[in-house]
Chain A
Amino acid sequence: MDQAALAPERQLDAISVEDAITHLNSEYADEVQLDEREGYGGIIVDSKRLVDIARVIRDDLGFDYLSSATAVDYLGEGDHLEMVYHAYRTTGGGALVFKARTDRDNAVIPSLVSIWRGSDFQEREAWDLMGIRFPGHPNLKRILMWEGFQGHPLRKDWREAYYEEEQKPFDSRWPGGHVHRAEEKNVFGKNVTYPPDIDLGRLMDTSEAAVYQSLGLGVDVERIMDKDGFETDELVVNMGPHHPSTHGVFRMVLTVDGETVTSLEPVMGYLHRNHEKIGERNTYLHNIPFTDRLDYISSMGNNHGYVLAVEQLMSLGRKYNPPTYRCEALRVMMVELSRIVNHLWAIGFWLNDIGAFFTPVLYFVQERERILDFFEAVAGSRMMCNYMRFGGLFGDLPERLKSVSNLANDRVRDYNTMQFLTEMINERIPRTIDDLERLLTQNEILIERSVGVGVLTREDAINYSAAGPLLRGSGVDYDIRRADPYSIYPELDFDVAVENEGDMYARYRVRVSELRESVRILKQILPRLEATAGESIWADGKPGAYAPRVPHGEAYGRVENGKGELGYYVVSAGGRGGSSNPWRYHVRAPSFINLTPMGIMSRGYKVADIVGILGSIDIVLGETDR
Chain B
Amino acid sequence: MNLQELNQSEFPVPAELENNIAITSLSQLYNWGRRNSMWPMLFGLACCAIEMIATAASRFDFSRFGFEVMRATPRQADLMIVSGTVTKKMVVPIVRLYNQMPEPKYVLAMGACASGGGPFKEGYNVVSGMDKYLPVDVYVPGCPPTPQALLYGMIALQRKIDGQSIANGDDVPWYGVSTAEPTPVPVLGPDIIDPRQMDMIRRQAEAAAVDAPSIGSRELPAATPLVAAKVTVDTTAEADAAPINENALSFVLPTGAAPWAEAEEIREKRRLRALARKALRATRRAAVAEEE
Which A positions have Cβ atoms within 8 angstroms of B?
Answer: 144-146, 148-150, 153, 160-164, 182-198, 200, 203-205, 207, 241-244, 248-249, 269-274, 277-278, 281, 289-290, 293, 296-297, 361-362, 365-366, 368-369, 382-384, 405, 407, 410, 621-622
A29 to chain B, nearest CB (A): 43
Asked whether, in the complex, the Cβ of A277 is within 8 Å of the Cβ of B123, the reply is yes
Name which residue of chain A comes closest to B59, CB basis.
A369
Enumerate chain A residues within 8 angstroms of B115, measured Cβ to Cβ: none
Asked whether, in the complex, the Cβ of B89 is within 8 Å of the Cβ of A200, the reply is no
Asked whether, in the complex, the Cβ of A296 is within 8 Å of the Cβ of B50, the reply is yes
CB-CB under 8 A for A297 and B90, given A148-B188, A161-B124: no
Asked whether, in the complex, the Cβ of B45 is within 8 Å of the Cβ of A366, the reply is no
Enumerate chain A residues within 8 angstroms of B219, measured Cβ to Cβ: 187
| Beyond A293-B47, A368-B54, 10 extra complex contacts between A and B, CB < 8 Å | A149-B188, A163-B122, A187-B204, A192-B192, A200-B201, A200-B202, A204-B189, A269-B87, A277-B123, A366-B58
CB-CB under 8 A for A160 and B146, given A190-B132, A198-B215, A271-B87: no
| Any A CB within 8 A of the CB of B217 | yes
CB-CB under 8 A for A197 and B218, given A289-B119, A369-B59: no
Name which residue of chain A comes closest to B143, CB basis.
A384
Cα distance A197–B51 in the bound complex, in angstroms: 44
A520 to chain B, nearest CB (A): 27
CB-CB under 8 A for A191 and B217, given A248-B46, A270-B87, A383-B51: no
CB-CB under 8 A for A407 and B189, given A242-B43, A278-B120: no
A-B contact pairs, 22 of them (CB 8 A): A149-B188, A161-B191, A162-B121, A182-B121, A182-B128, A187-B215, A191-B128, A194-B189, A194-B193, A194-B201, A194-B215, A195-B190, A198-B189, A198-B205, A200-B193, A207-B188, A242-B97, A273-B120, A273-B125, A405-B147, A407-B148, A622-B46
| Any A CB within 8 A of the CB of B247 | no
Per-residue A-contact encoding for B199-221, CB less than 8 Å = 1, 0 else: 01110110011000011111111
Asked whether, in the complex, the Cβ of A149 is within 8 Å of the Cβ of B191, the reply is yes
Enumerate chain A residues within 8 angstroms of B49, measured Cβ to Cβ: 248
Name which residue of chain A comes closest to B84, CB basis.
A271
Per-residue A-contact encoding for B83-96, CB less than 8 Å = 1, 0 else: 01101111001000
B36 to chain A, nearest CB (A): 20
A149 to chain B, nearest CB (A): 7
Contact partner of B89 (CB less than 8 A), chosen from A146, A190, A366, is A146
Name which residue of chain B comes closest to A198, CB basis.
B205
Cα distance A198–B217 in the bound complex, in angstroms: 14
Asked whether, in the complex, the Cβ of A198 is within 8 Å of the Cβ of B188, the reply is no
Contact partner of A148 (CB less than 8 A), chosen from B119, B127, B190, is B190
| Any A CB within 8 A of the CB of B180 | no
Cα distance A165–B205 in the bound complex, in angstroms: 25
Cα distance A281–B124 in the bound complex, in angstroms: 13
Per-residue A-contact encoding for B163-186, CB less than 8 Å = 1, 0 else: 000000000000000000000000
Q: Which 9 A-B pairs have the closest CB atoms?
A: A274-B123, A193-B216, A150-B190, A296-B47, A196-B208, A160-B124, A273-B120, A270-B90, A365-B57
Enumerate chain B residues within 8 angstroms of A144, measured Cβ to Cβ: 125
| Any A CB within 8 A of the CB of B126 | yes
Enumerate chain A residues within 8 angstroms of B148, measured Cβ to Cβ: 405, 407
Cα distance A149–B85 in the bound complex, in angstroms: 20
Cα distance A273–B118 in the bound complex, in angstroms: 11
Asked whether, in the complex, the Cβ of B220 is within 8 Å of the Cβ of A185, the reply is yes
Cα distance A365–B51 in the bound complex, in angstroms: 11
Enumerate chain A residues within 8 angstroms of B127, measured Cβ to Cβ: 190-191
A208 to chain B, nearest CB (A): 9
Asked whether, in the complex, the Cβ of A365 is within 8 Å of the Cβ of B59, the reply is yes
Name which residue of chain A comes closest to B186, CB basis.
A205
| Any A CB within 8 A of the CB of B231 | no
CB-CB under 8 A for A622 and B221, given A188-B197, A194-B191: no
Cα distance A200–B218 in the bound complex, in angstroms: 21
B187 to chain A, nearest CB (A): 5
Enumerate chain A residues within 8 angstroms of B89, measured Cβ to Cβ: 145-146, 207, 269-270, 272
Enumerate chain A residues within 8 angstroms of B147, measured Cβ to Cβ: 405
Name which residue of chain B comes closest to A368, CB basis.
B54
Asked whether, in the complex, the Cβ of A278 is within 8 Å of the Cβ of B189, the reply is no
B81 to chain A, nearest CB (A): 13
Asked whether, in the complex, the Cβ of A271 is within 8 Å of the Cβ of B124, the reply is no
Contact partner of B44 (CB less than 8 A), chosen from A146, A248, A383, is A248
A513 to chain B, nearest CB (A): 25
Enumerate chain B residues within 8 angstroms of A297, measured Cβ to Cβ: 50
Asked whether, in the complex, the Cβ of B122 is within 8 Å of the Cβ of A278, the reply is yes
CB-CB under 8 A for A274 and B124, given A296-B50, A297-B50, A384-B143: yes
CB-CB under 8 A for A185 and B97, given A145-B89, A272-B89, A405-B148: no
| Any A CB within 8 A of the CB of B238 | no
Asked whether, in the complex, the Cβ of A281 is within 8 Å of the Cβ of B122, the reply is yes
Q: Which B106-151 residues have a C-beta within 8 angstroms of A?
A: 113, 117, 119-128, 132, 143-144, 146-148
Cα distance A382–B219 in the bound complex, in angstroms: 41
Enumerate chain B residues within 8 angstroms of A184, measured Cβ to Cβ: 220
Cα distance A425–B183 in the bound complex, in angstroms: 52
Cα distance A403–B56 in the bound complex, in angstroms: 20
A378 to chain B, nearest CB (A): 16
Asked whether, in the complex, the Cβ of B216 is within 8 Å of the Cβ of A186, the reply is yes
Asked whether, in the complex, the Cβ of B47 is within 8 Å of the Cβ of A622, the reply is yes
Name which residue of chain B comes closest to A185, CB basis.
B218
Asked whether, in the complex, the Cβ of A365 is within 8 Å of the Cβ of B190, the reply is no
| Any A CB within 8 A of the CB of B72 | yes
Contact partner of A198 (CB less than 8 A), chosen from B51, B97, B124, B201, is B201
Asked whether, in the complex, the Cβ of A369 is within 8 Å of the Cβ of B54, the reply is yes
Enumerate chain B residues within 8 angstroms of A383, measured Cβ to Cβ: 47, 50-51, 144
| Any A CB within 8 A of the CB of B42 | yes
Per-residue A-contact encoding for B217-255, CB less than 8 Å = 1, 0 else: 111110000000000000000000000000000000000
A400 to chain B, nearest CB (A): 21
| Any A CB within 8 A of the CB of B68 | no
Contact partner of B124 (CB less than 8 A), chosen from A249, A277, A293, A622, is A277
Asked whether, in the complex, the Cβ of B59 is within 8 Å of the Cβ of A194, the reply is no
Asked whether, in the complex, the Cβ of B43 is within 8 Å of the Cβ of A192, the reply is no
A195 to chain B, nearest CB (A): 6
Enumerate chain B residues within 8 angstroms of A146, measured Cβ to Cβ: 89, 188
Name which residue of chain A comes closest to B199, CB basis.
A200
Enumerate chain A residues within 8 angstroms of B144, measured Cβ to Cβ: 383-384
Name which residue of chain A comes closest to B217, CB basis.
A187
Asked whether, in the complex, the Cβ of A278 is within 8 Å of the Cβ of B123, the reply is yes
Enumerate chain A residues within 8 angstroms of B72, measured Cβ to Cβ: 243-244
Name which residue of chain A comes closest to B151, CB basis.
A407
Name which residue of chain A comes closest to B54, CB basis.
A365
| Any A CB within 8 A of the CB of B194 | yes
Name which residue of chain A comes closest to B42, CB basis.
A244
CB-CB under 8 A for A194 and B57, given A207-B188, A273-B125: no
Cα distance A274–B87 in the bound complex, in angstroms: 10
Asked whether, in the complex, the Cβ of A242 is within 8 Å of the Cβ of B122, the reply is no
Asked whether, in the complex, the Cβ of B90 is within 8 Å of the Cβ of A241, the reply is yes
| Any A CB within 8 A of the CB of B257 | no
Cα distance A183–B122 in the bound complex, in angstroms: 10
Most central of B49, B190, B197, B217 by chain A CB within 10 Å: B190
| Any A CB within 8 A of the CB of B258 | no
Enumerate chain A residues within 8 angstroms of B113, measured Cβ to Cβ: 273
Asked whether, in the complex, the Cβ of B87 is within 8 Å of the Cβ of A191, the reply is no
Asked whether, in the complex, the Cβ of B47 is within 8 Å of the Cβ of A192, the reply is no
